[in-house]
Chains A and B, each alone.
Chain A
Amino acid sequence: MIFSYYPGCTLRNKAKDLDAYARASAEALGFTLQELDNWQCCGGVYPLGTDEIASKLSSVRALAEAKDKGQDLVTLCSACHHVLKRVNDDMTNVEDIRTRANNYMKLAEPYAGETKVLHFLEVLRDVVGFDTLKEKVVNPLTGQKIAAYYGCLLLRPGKIMALDDPENPKLLEDFIRALGAEPVVYPYRNECCGGYISLKEPDMAKNMCNTINESAKGFGAECFITACPLCRYNLNKTEQGLPVYYFTELLAEALGVKEGAL
């Protein structure tokens, strides 16, 4: 099974491991991530303004390319996932944005939200299935107590992301269970890490990450997993912070494909 794949800027640079472990795991699970030929950066933040068109075009281009290939579009980074799903929702439901974006793009056939955007985790849950995943695990992470950190962009707005219950998600917890480890549920797993604020206001982000870190620790977690390079960066800045891993690293480890993946 082949999916179109949108890696995003950071996975080509600072988060190469997030990407490499995902590809290796995908092959082990029997699907392939086929990188889009001409992807451009999504911008990291979804442009909220109703009159912002140009800043949405890179996403439309990626969505249209996947449509041409007739494939679902998979992404790994929480931010890319957020931007792509929201732009796709605009192209499906907001006539004004759809019309104006298509006027700019001059595609052979106008794009109207036909592509299905999936987070890699959705592929694991809905296509592979956690039961199958569990069967393919060769190095179960038995005994590890792992706190899933969702952050904000994976889940919200719930109506558009449609990934999981935005207030009480289970996706990463089920994932952790499938790898043989024990999920630690704590209340700040869907609260923001500070995001881009850490560039100019590092203390603000640090405060927020401290709350997240303390809460997870308090419930007995030994480490975090996340899907987002920025979440990981911010969480890593906390004092006495728990180690933070990309979920794909643990996945590759459990599937026995970690060695040689990088």
Chain B
Amino acid sequence: MNAKEQVQQISGVNPYKCMKCGKCSATCPAYEEMDIKPHQFVSYVQSGNIEALAACKSMWKCLSCFACVERCPRDVQPGRILDAARQIVVRQRGGNYLTAEEIPPLVDEDLPQQLLVSAYRRYKR
């Protein structure tokens, strides 16, 4: 299975359903922080440019808030595509975006456990 097929399989998304309306990018609250924009996730998969997608910063900026998923008129779910790219990265050795050592200085008194749990699941294998 090549990388393109792998993204399609993990995400369960058919990128060819996209009609390129850009509503995902219009609605994304993390848009400004992203180097590859939500509507581009889809075209990167269409053109098989998974290497670039797997190197993007966007996957660490996505909030998994599902605004793009909810509002997509074609049910493409760009957030799922990005998550699949992230999976491919964190499943590789050294692919983690967060290490245990980094955490202690980031924790303050009020920090809910939920935040650590979510960040771990999101950033680490």
- Which residues of chain B in 30-89 are interfacial with respect to chain A, using CB atoms and an 8 Å cutoff? 30, 33, 60-61, 63-67, 69-70, 79-80, 83-84, 87
Output the least CB separation between A34 and chain B (Å): 22
Question: Within 8 Å CB of B95, what residues of A?
Answer: none
> By DSSP majority rule, is chain A's interface helix, strand, loop, or mixed?
loop
Whether the Cβ atoms of A157 and B9 lie closer than 8 Å is no
Q: Which of B65, B83, B98 contacts A200 (CB 8 A)?
A: B98
Tell me which of A10-18, A108-116, A131-139 binds B.
A10-18
- Which residues of chain A in 220-254 are interfacial with respect to chain B, using CB atoms and an 8 Å cutoff? 228-230, 232-233, 236
Whether the Cβ atoms of B113 and A50 lie closer than 8 Å is no
Q: Which of A13, A167, A194, A229 contacts B63 (CB 8 A)?
A: A194
Number of A-B residue pairs having CB atoms within 8 Å of each other in the complex: 124
Question: Within 8 Å CB of B121, what residues of A?
Answer: 43-45, 47, 55
Per the bound structure, the CA–CA distance linking A228 and B118 in Å amounts to: 13
Indicate the member of A52, A55, A196 with the most B CB atoms within 10 Å.
Answer: A196
A158 contacts chain B at the CB level, 8 A cutoff? yes
From A188, which residue of chain B is reached at the shortest CB distance?
A: B29
B119 contacts chain A at the CB level, 8 A cutoff? yes
Given contacts A152-B65, A157-B69, A166-B70, contact A48 B11 (CB under 8 A): yes
Output the least CB separation between B115 and chain A (Å): 6
Beyond A199-B103, A230-B115, A233-B110, 6 extra complex contacts between A and B, CB < 8 Å: A8-B114, A9-B117, A10-B112, A10-B114, A48-B84, A49-B83
The 4 closest A-B pairs by CB, nearest first: A44-B118, A192-B65, A196-B118, A152-B65
